[in-house]
Amino acid sequence: MSTLAQTRAMSQRSVLALVRQPALVIPSAVFPLFFAALGTSSFSRAVNIPGFPEVDSFLDFALAGAIVQGILFGSITSATALATDIETGFFDRLLAAPTQRTAILIGRLAGAMAYGFAQTLFFVAVLVPFGLRITTGAVGLMLMAIGGLLTALAVGALMSTMALRTGSSEAVQGSFPLLFVLLFFSSAFFPRETMSGAYRRIADWNPVSYLVEGFRSLTIGDVNATSIAQVVALPAALAVVTMTGALAALAARTRRG
């Protein structure tokens, strides 16, 4: 079986797993939308405070954070499945079969990428009837979908590294709070400009802030070099780093046997 065919088979498996168990999808699909809805109502008057970017409604502001949140939590589901495969020994069976090592990993990540792409479009589709407006139109939307795909790849590779190194689904699930904290200490839910002190500095250093702001500038701003860099180049660069780590972890695990 060629590498491409194997990769396709592995991708199909991971996508099917999501389709068959919709409950897995709820944390990454429903929760971010719920928070966006909650925030839109709670913080509707906050859009006028000094430092808040120009928006028609809080919803336009919140979309970016919702997308990134969905992708972050979705990556846990995928990595947990990988860790479970390792725990149950299915992973060893894959290694024993004439499967290309990388196909195993890429297949799983391909599923995640498809999910990230689809989720971005899905969120927009759901929120438009509630008043969401994307100033950059279809072009911006497509850029965001690509950004979603690349972000899912970057985060997915990072979580897969963890799954491969620990081989424990419990450890992977335990990282949920860490991702949550990472998300919170950024501009995902509120503008950095309104923060102060040490908290502000953490948000300034957090790469998630820039990622979110890329999506946000495509929602409420223009398509320009900065927004493209943040939405496409940044996750792509992160993806390169995390993929390297994931491949190294895969190699380590196959050596261990």
Partner 1 sequence: MSSTIAPAWGLAMRSLRNIRRLPSAFVPALMMPLVQVIAFSGTFAGITMVQGFPTDRSVNWYLPLAVTMGSSFAGLGTGFAMIRDLQSGFYDRLRMSPAGRRSLLLGPFIAAWARALIAVVLVLIVGVTLGARPTSWVAIPSLIAVGLGTATLGTGWGIGLAYRFGDMRAAAIMQLTLFLGLFLTDAQTPVDVMRGWLVPVATVNPLSRVLALARQGFIDDGASWATTIWGLITLIAVSTATGMFAMAGLRHLDD
Interacting residues toward partner 1 by CB under 8 A: 37-46, 48-52, 170, 174, 177, 181, 184-185, 189-191, 194-196, 199
What separation in angstroms does the CA of 244 have from each of 25, 73, 99, 218, 240?
Answer: 27, 22, 20, 29, 6
Amino acid sitting at position 183 = L
CA neighbor of 189 nearest in space, from 37, 66, 56, 48 = 66
Q: Cβ closer to partner 1: 203 or 231?
A: 203
* 210 CB burial (10 A radius; 0-12, 13-18, 19+): middle
Query: Least distance in Å: CB of 35 to partner 1?
Result: 9
Q: Cβ closer to partner 1: 35 or 118?
A: 35
Query: Least distance in Å: CB of 199 to partner 1?
Result: 3
Query: Least distance in Å: CB of 40 to partner 1?
Result: 7
- Residue 191 CA to residue 53 CA, distance in Å, equals 8
Q: Cβ closer to partner 1: 166 or 226?
A: 166
Q: Cβ closer to partner 1: 35 or 122?
A: 35
Query: Least distance in Å: CB of 196 to partner 1?
Result: 6
Residues with Cβ within 8 Å of 146's Cβ and at least 6 positions away in sequence, in order, are 117, 231, 232
CA neighbor of 243 nearest in space, from 148, 117, 110, 119 = 110
Q: Cβ closer to partner 1: 49 or 248?
A: 49
Query: What is the CA 226 to chain-centroid distance, rounded?
Result: 20
Query: Least distance in Å: CB of 81 to partner 1?
Result: 17
Q: Cβ closer to partner 1: 26 or 248?
A: 26
Quickly tell me which residue has 């949920």 as its tokens: 176
Backbone angles phi, psi at 57, to 5 degrees: -150, 160
- Residue 249 CA to residue 170 CA, distance in Å, equals 18
Query: Least distance in Å: CB of 208 to partner 1?
Result: 12
